[in-house]
Structure 1
Amino acid sequence: MQGFRNFLRGTGGKILLAAIILPFIISAFYGYFTGGGGGDVVARVEGNDIYRAVVDDRVQRTRLALRQQSPELDPQLLDNFINPGMVLQGMVNNVLVLTAASDAGMVISDEQAGRTILQIPEFHDQNGRFSQQQFDRTVRTMGQTPSGYMSLLRDEMLMNQFRAGYEDTAFGLPYELEDLRRLGEQRRDISYIRISAESLVPEFDISDEQVEAFYHSTPEDFIRPPEYQLEYIDLSRSAYLDDVQLTEEQLREEYEVREQMFRNVAEQQERRRVSHILLTGGDDMLARAEALREQIVGGAEFAELAREHSDDAASASLGGVLGLVGRGDLPASLDQVAFTLEEGEVSQPIATDDGVHLLVVTSINRRTLPTFDAMRDEIEEELKVARAEMRLSEDVRQLEELAFEHADLSVPAETLGVSLQKTPFFPLGQPVDIAAEPAVRRALSDRAVLEGERNSALIELGQGRYVVVRVAGSRPEEEIPLVEVREDIARHLALAAAQARLDELAAEGEAALAEGADLARLAGLWRQDVISAENLERGGSQPETELVERVFRLPRPAADSQPAVQIVRMGNGDLAAISLDSVRDGNPQGLTAAQRAAALGQLGELAGAASFRQVVTLLREEGDVRIYNERLMGEIED
């Protein structure tokens, strides 16, 4: 069963997931990016324009989300992977799917979208209930209006419904499962010979004459490109945080401010469980109420007296219980009294137009602020960040002005009281230090900056970090002396000779196989040992992933015949000869009923994904899609 899982999770499965799932993850809520916008139209899909600015925005949001989820990811690799072209493809797919769903008459009502919004945790208050105020605030921080968000949510739900119509209705058949188990859990035994070019390098003695001849034959390969050195001012929030010092008195003052604010909010949100006795009719209502109050104070049960004497039929049978109420839920005269009583305290008789009431508060739900000691670290961190941000913001504003006004960065650095930092010399193709930042590389594409005529504009690197750079020095293109590259050339020539020798060995081996040679004879011809490997499984990494992949491409050997030998060149240029000695299929029947059901479910998921991929492909082929690739050529701001 594990082998079958490995098969489903192998290269084919990963490709399928990337092709189907990723475009829809990166472009969720497509309407957010196609509505409005400005600048270049980079695609027109079924009459809907997609703008470069919104594609760039989505790229940034996707990169940021992935960085937060996986901080260990190489930022440059991530930036190369999540690029405008890929994101645009996902957005185009979403427009096509939404259009197809609408054409099919599929609709998501406001009520359906509303019920979904009620379940989204980001819109809940601290008690876990939906909060309109929290919803409005959260949506507006996303740059949306509540009605706009509702519209986008309907679109997203509609696309999911359309996709589910294909993915959730697919299924796997028993014969497909049997075939896949035979393949997925198949085991193969092999014998092989492996010769690496590296192992042949010592056989070739490269002379000085050969090295010099190669050096002079390709002089363009031995030119050191221009190199540049940057000086820069770096302002980061982390540095300002280290400088912020707070006293204990300042922390306590902040706590007191928060405590008062919290108390005001808590009072407004306080809820009390209240019961009452209502007396109506007659001139002795007050006297009767006083008598009942004396009984209660004397130990009588409020609920029993309510059942016996209260004229409020709705609550009398419940012992006078009105339930949990907040401020303003009761009439003003009762509300004022209810929220002054202590828990368990009975009110004085309250005369109203309805009659005379006695109230009792049976419980009070009141939020309490954690103690100063419990909140001290949080308060200190928040105050430090706020003060650091304030100072950073002011210095960033000043740096931007100074860098524009001055010819170099000396005066800005002195004015701000920061050190002027420098990078080592580097070629543009191999940036180091601050120059490796994508935003800095883009700044260097400005000829005036690259040639050292002026400072760059303010560059935001993210995470509260800002820099201004200037080219402090440059070195022109120059020829690399032979002495510096002699060893590299000699190794290059030796490897080339080794690869040529491998070509000769491959040809000799093919000729020997044509004459009926087996692997043992080939091993003698190549003067190599035969290596055996048993129980190789599909997708395995032993003895080597590429070798295993090659082995599972070989045809099954015919029964009662000598295993065929195949000569292959590996991806790194190595030479190998492989003999597939035996093949053992997996057991298609070796599953319990539960395992069989789970495996068929997995097949159904793969079939559903494949089905939906075909639908998207068809929509792309038949839809009105125009993509303007030339408008996606420039890099985006990081």
Structure 2
Amino acid sequence: MLQTLRKGASTWVVRIFLGILMVSFGIGIWQGNTLFSSAADTTVATVGDTEISSQAFTVALDREVRRLQQQLGAGFTREQALAFNVQGGVLSQLLSDATVAEAARSFGLRVPDELVAREIAAIPAFQDFTGKFDAARFQAVLRQAQMTEATLTQQIRAELVRAQLYGPAAGGARTPTIVAQTLYAHRNERRVIDYFTLAPAALGPIPQPDEAAIDAYYKANPQAFTAPEFRAITLLIADPAEIAKTTAPTEDAIAAAYEERKGEFGTPEKREIVQMVLKTQAEADTAVSKLNSGGDFVAVAKELANLSEADTKLGTVTKGTLPAALDEAAFAAAEGAIGGPVETPLGWHVFKVVKVEAASVKPMAEVHDTLRDALALDAAQSQITQIQKSLQDELAGGASLEDAGQRLNLSVRKVAAVDAGGKDEAGKPVEGLPEAPPLLPGLFQAATGRNGDMIDTDGGGFVIGRVDTISPAALRPLDQVRGQVIAGWQAAETQDRLGKLAAETVKGINDGKDIAAAAKAAGATPGTVGPGLRSGDAIFVALPPALVTALFEVDKGKAASAPAADETGIIIGAVRGIEAADPAADAEGVKKLAETLREDFAGDLAGVFEADLRARFGISIHEQTYNSLIGQRGRSEQ
């Protein structure tokens, strides 16, 4: 019984442990720097008598946000995570865990310590190279993961309980043979498709709209002609690159940096080498003897190693790119010298140094300005922390951004109008904005007249913004956007007429018209593709997925249409041929599909069982506590 349970649970155990390790190694989730500040010991939710504490929720949410940041990059903010309702997914998982815990308590489910120990010993991360459990490695991995043995044991025990609870329900899943065969035939049917593109050119010129049409289109599409909200802002910028322009390193410092970094300004020695690799030292000694007696390298390599001239060429190499022993010998030999034999795991090497290109280093005069600028930038970056402190003192004392910038010799820039996307009133990007992704989103949430947060820039500095005035979004007058309205009307009219023509063309083909004739009438050249499958077949890559789907639902000779991927036209397709799939001819394929379906059914059964348990135990969400935790961070930053 326990062995059967272990077999079913092992994948759960390894999965959850590896997930913990992945997040822990990458971002250190277990201590400190949580998403929310510590809350009182309240309850977020309950399943029966099992509680989900505020602390458990905040730790789990913080872990999930950081996992997403690791996958998507640091630009993915906590605020974005909350906007995507990550917190809802976290709460759902915690409710699932609590349901298992409540069921285990109610039904008296227990997992023997011996089984937990065996599961731990079976985790590859805790095993030595022979596959045996290594206690020292076990402790080392836990330390690296910042995880205690008790925490790991609790996690594994919970997953084993889950397997006990849901295993019988999932184990009852079965796939009727007729279901697998029917789905196999559906998935593996292949079709050949004729197609062509109905382009706007088939319509001829689109006329200019009259005033009534212009006015109607303008009124029906106000969003397209509405100017976004613009804000006038003031930015105080501490940019190391700008500060560096006022910093002048001494010549002694530049000379010292040159000596320290000389390796960066040169090219290493390079050698052109030919070689032959032989099986035994005796053969290699014979090759060296022949070469030292004046033998031609290519001829000897052909005779003793059956190598062509091309096979002997290693090309031009630098030190450290060859096997260690060969590398050492090849870079110790003189130009033109025969070297070897040298043994490596590949065999016995005999080589010749054809050409040596000596290492070179650029003189300091050539890299002087580069070093000067780099030293100045380093010095500027080292000043940033002190500048931040001085600025905080200035602002705390009531100074404006303008006054503080003048006293600290920092750049202050005023932007007359910028939208949330960083564009000006002409729709062009505002030049010179600091590379600080959170800057504009923050300013477009801020009230006027208040300084924003100090935000780090990608260049190693920081920026503080202030909203001076706000110009709300407003519908532009028709006279200002007449050209855009006309272009929009013509584009919409083109799509409308093209859609009607496509529908007529499809109807004509379905009524018996040849697709080649339909393509010729539209000034298009037809193509043929297939046979291919209905889903995910690369052979249909040129066709819109919607068209492929539609053509797998109609009979041979019938047609359908769908917009082209680039939205420049509509693609018309018709079924040229159908190749039915025979489940009886691929018993193994049907068997694999049946197993996949069984696993899917098992997951569904486990889900139904869990839903029934939740209904039986009862779930309570403490919305006030939950909402306070979600909103807590925002309030703390105001």
Task: Report the TM-score, using the length of structure 1 for normalisation.
Answer: 0.54
1:469 to partner: Cα distance = 2.9
Alignment partner, residue 469 of structure 1 = 465
Alignment partner, residue 537 of structure 1 = 533
1:227 to partner: Cα distance = 1.3
Return the letter of the residue paired with 1:213.
Answer: D
Cα distance change, pair 598–586 in 1 and its aligned pair in 2 (3 A): same
SS in 1 for 2:110: coil
Alignment partner, residue 89 of structure 2 = 86
Return the letter of the residue paired with 1:185.
Answer: N
Q: Distance in 2 between matches of 1:220 and 1:586?
A: 52
SS in 1 for 2:194: strand
Cα distance change, pair 545–79 in 1 and its aligned pair in 2 (3 A): farther
Q: Distance in 2 between matches of 1:427 and 1:495?
A: 27
Q: Distance in 1 between matches of 2:382 and 2:46?
A: 43
Asked whether 1:496 is paired with 2:498, we answer no
Moved more, 73-82 or 146-155: 73-82
Q: Distance in 2 between matches of 1:116 and 1:399?
A: 56
1:61 aligns with one of 48, 60, 63? 63
Q: After superposition, where does 1:332-371 map in structure 2 within 5 Å?
A: none
Q: Percent identity over the alignment? A: 18
Moved more, 183-192 or 626-635: 626-635
Q: Distance in 1 between matches of 2:194 and 2:64?
A: 47
Larger radius of gyration: 1
Cα distance change, pair 226–514 in 1 and its aligned pair in 2 (3 A): closer
Judge conservation of contact 2:194–2:576 (CA < 8 Å) in 1.
Answer: yes
1:547 to partner: Cα distance = 4.0
Alignment partner, residue 206 of structure 2 = 204
Alignment partner, residue 3 of structure 2 = none
Return the letter of the residue paired with 1:445.
Answer: Q
Alignment partner, residue 187 of structure 1 = 190
2:98 aligns with one of 72, 95, 99? 95
Asked whether 1:564 is paired with 2:558, we answer yes
SS in 1 for 2:583: coil
Cα distance change, pair 224–592 in 1 and its aligned pair in 2 (3 A): closer
SS in 2 for 1:206: coil
1:138 to partner: Cα distance = 5.5
1:551 to partner: Cα distance = 3.7
Asked whether 1:624 is paired with 2:604, we answer no
Asked whether 1:406 is paired with 2:405, we answer no
Alignment partner, residue 581 of structure 2 = 586
Judge conservation of contact 1:435–1:441 (CA < 8 Å) in 2.
Answer: no
Q: After superposition, where does 1:263-274 map in structure 2 within 5 Å?
A: none
Cα distance change, pair 617–239 in 1 and its aligned pair in 2 (3 A): farther
1:130 to partner: Cα distance = 3.2
Gaps of 5+ in 1: 1-20, 252-386, 558-562
SS in 2 for 1:471: strand
1:508 to partner: Cα distance = 4.2
Q: Distance in 2 between matches of 1:50 and 1:114?
A: 27
Cα distance change, pair 591–523 in 1 and its aligned pair in 2 (3 A): closer
1:490 to partner: Cα distance = 2.0
Alignment partner, residue 455 of structure 1 = 451
Asked whether 1:158 is paired with 2:157, we answer no
Q: Distance in 2 between matches of 1:445 and 1:131?
A: 50
Judge conservation of contact 1:404–1:455 (CA < 8 Å) in 2.
Answer: no
Deviations 1:10-56 (A, max 9, x none): xxxxxxxxxxx99x97999999999x954996654445555778656
Q: Distance in 2 between matches of 1:120 and 1:505?
A: 63
Q: Distance in 2 between matches of 1:494 and 1:44?
A: 58
Q: Distance in 1 between matches of 2:161 and 2:240?
A: 43
Moved more, 106-115 or 491-500: 106-115
Q: Distance in 1 between matches of 2:240 and 2:52?
A: 36
1:493 to partner: Cα distance = 0.4
1:188 to partner: Cα distance = 0.5
Return the letter of the residue paired with 2:496.
Answer: A
1:564 to partner: Cα distance = 3.5
Return the letter of the residue paired with 1:608.
Answer: A
Cα distance change, pair 627–84 in 1 and its aligned pair in 2 (3 A): same
Deviations 1:489-510 (A, max 9, x none): 2221012212332454356457
Deviations 1:261-318 (A, max 9, x none): xxxxxxxxxxxxxxxxxxxxxxxxxxxxxxxxxxxxxxxxxxxxxxxxxxxxxxxxxx
Alignment partner, residue 228 of structure 2 = 225
Judge conservation of contact 2:381–2:461 (CA < 8 Å) in 1.
Answer: no
Q: Distance in 1 between matches of 2:197 and 2:632?
A: 44
Return the letter of the residue paired with 1:544.
Answer: L
Deviations 1:124-176 (A, max 9, x none): 99x9643797578557x57xx76556445533443355455556775666655
Return the letter of the residue paired with 2:229.
Answer: P
Q: Distance in 1 between matches of 2:397 and 2:150?
A: 46
SS in 2 for 1:130: helix
1:554 to partner: Cα distance = 0.6
Q: After superposition, where does 1:144-155 map in structure 2 within 5 Å?
A: 147=150, 150-155=153-158
1:535 to partner: Cα distance = 0.8
Cα distance change, pair 566–552 in 1 and its aligned pair in 2 (3 A): closer
Judge conservation of contact 1:108–1:158 (CA < 8 Å) in 2.
Answer: yes
Return the letter of the residue paired with 2:208.
Answer: I
1:120 to partner: Cα distance = 6.8
Cα distance change, pair 575–208 in 1 and its aligned pair in 2 (3 A): same
SS in 2 for 1:582: strand
SS in 2 for 1:579: strand
Judge conservation of contact 2:442–2:452 (CA < 8 Å) in 1.
Answer: no
Cα distance change, pair 479–581 in 1 and its aligned pair in 2 (3 A): closer
Moved more, 203-212 or 522-531: 522-531
Cα distance change, pair 164–493 in 1 and its aligned pair in 2 (3 A): same
Alignment partner, residue 289 of structure 1 = none
Alignment partner, residue 420 of structure 2 = 428
Judge conservation of contact 1:408–1:470 (CA < 8 Å) in 2.
Answer: no
Q: Distance in 1 between matches of 2:23 and 2:44?
A: 18
Q: Distance in 2 between matches of 1:156 and 1:51?
A: 20
Q: Distance in 2 between matches of 1:115 and 1:514?
A: 66
Alignment partner, residue 130 of structure 1 = 136
Q: Distance in 1 between matches of 2:405 and 2:89?
A: 41
Cα distance change, pair 623–173 in 1 and its aligned pair in 2 (3 A): same
Alignment partner, residue 368 of structure 1 = none
Q: Distance in 2 between matches of 1:184 and 1:499?
A: 34
1:213 aligns with one of 206, 212, 215? 215
Asked whether 1:108 is paired with 2:111, we answer yes
Equivalent residue pairs, number: 464
Judge conservation of contact 2:384–2:461 (CA < 8 Å) in 1.
Answer: no
Q: Distance in 1 between matches of 2:23 and 2:102?
A: 15
1:224 to partner: Cα distance = 1.9
Alignment partner, residue 602 of structure 2 = 608
Q: Distance in 1 between matches of 2:486 and 2:51?
A: 57
